Amino acid sequence: MKYIKFLSVIAIMCFTSQLFAQSAKTSVIDIKVSSQCSMCKTTIEKALAYEKGVVSSNLDVDTHTVRVTYKPNKTTPENIRKAISAVGYDADDVPANPKAYAKLTDCCKKPEDRKFDHSGHKH
Ligand SMILES: [Cu+2]
């Protein structure tokens, strides 16, 4: 009888941990962004850190790809792309918000839009 009680406690524990795992479920997406340098990385990751439902993000400066871990019950890839656009960067097929883009530091703009030639500036 004691053994059965023990088993049911284990079963309940398994069940509740399953519930926890369900509620903490996250998804991961890769989004192509128009980032140019490590400053862009900071800007985008900071913007995503404040975005509802985003758990974490990491932008690879070399591949211009940001990997975002998010809660699918709290946000959508579309919202995440909009948040990136709002700080001035293209995100997949969502173009950068023009006003936000205009405010970017020169070196964070696309090469064709830069006023100055940053020779020696590593991008
Ligand atoms: Cu930059």
State in Å: Cα 74 to ligand 1 middle. 29
Q: Which amino acid makes up residue 91?
A: A
Confidence (pTM): 0.77
State in Å: Cα 16 to ligand 1 middle. 45
Q: What is the pLDDT of residues 28-54, one digit of tens each?
A: 999 999 999 999 999 999 999 999 999
Contact by Cβ (8 Å): 65, 31: yes
Contact by Cβ (8 Å): 34, 63: no
Domains in the chain with CATH codes? 25-109 (3.30.70.100)
Span 84-101, average pLDDT: 98
Report CA-CA distances (Å) from 112 to 25, 38, 61, 95: 41, 19, 18, 16
Percent of the chain with pLDDT over 70: 74
- Count the Cβ atoms, other than its own, within 10 Å of residue 86: 16
SS3 96: coil
Q: Which residues surround ligand 1, an ion (CB under 5 A)?
A: 36-37, 39-40, 108
Structure tokens belonging to residue 30: 């890769």
State in Å: Cα 7 to ligand 1 middle. 57
